[in-house]
Amino acid sequence: MYAVVQTGGKQYRVTAGDTFQVEKLAGNAGDMIKLERVLSLMNDGKPLLGSPTIAGAIVEAQIIKTAKGDKVLIFKKKRRHQYRRKNGHRQFLTTLHVTNITFNGTSIAKAEPKKIEAEKPHNAPSKPNAQAATAPKKAAAPKAAKKAAPAKKAAAEKKPAAAKKPAAKKAK
């Protein structure tokens, strides 16, 4: 049993238990969403095609995470004009886990939702460092007096400039 769903301008062929990435959707990790734009459905070996969608068909999915995808590079160039522009971006993607495919209120395919661990903030201390973070800090040692700048070397004696030669006489 599979379904073809449309989201973010793209179409995906999914079955119960599949995990796939789509363009960013609103919601937090662990939330359940319903994809109602089902374009086709395979039900007991009989394909159902929508025009454009199938009424009463719903794909339920669980949001696993939302993160940035791989970097996409954009490079523009015009030959012989020394025109080059390099740009890039990382698209936000939402990872979904399909839990249920229903048609007219009856479940066609079902899978268990995944267990999701809460993400830790980037600045949260890990367990081994937790004791170090709670321990009182020792008083800072007084800074040593600034060292005196090293004495400058005596200025080197300048040599007198070489005497200039008299200008040569012009030949007649």
Distance CA(5)–CA(14), nearest Å, equals 8
* Location of structure tokens 């068909």: 57
pLDDT in tens, 36-86: 999 999 888 888 898 999 999 999 999 999 999 999 999 999 999 999 999
Domain ranges of the chain: 3-113
Residues 6+ apart with CB under 8 A from 34: 58, 59, 60, 61
Is the confidence at residue 17, as pLDDT, over 60?
Answer: yes
pLDDT at 28: 93
- What is the helix (H) or strand (E) element at residue 88, kind and residue range? strand 83-103
pLDDT in tens, 147-165: 655 665 555 666 777 788 8
Mean pLDDT rounded to a whole number for the chain:
84
**What's the pLDDT score for residue 133?**
56
Q: Is the pLDDT of residue 116 over 60?
A: yes
Is the pLDDT score of 146 beyond 70?
Answer: no
How many Å apart are CA 109 and CA 102, to the nearest integer?
Answer: 7
Residues 6+ apart with CB under 8 A from 8: 22, 23, 25
Please report the sign of the dihedral spanned by the C-alpha atoms of residue 161, residue 166, residue 167, residue 171: negative
Percent of the chain with pLDDT over 70: 76
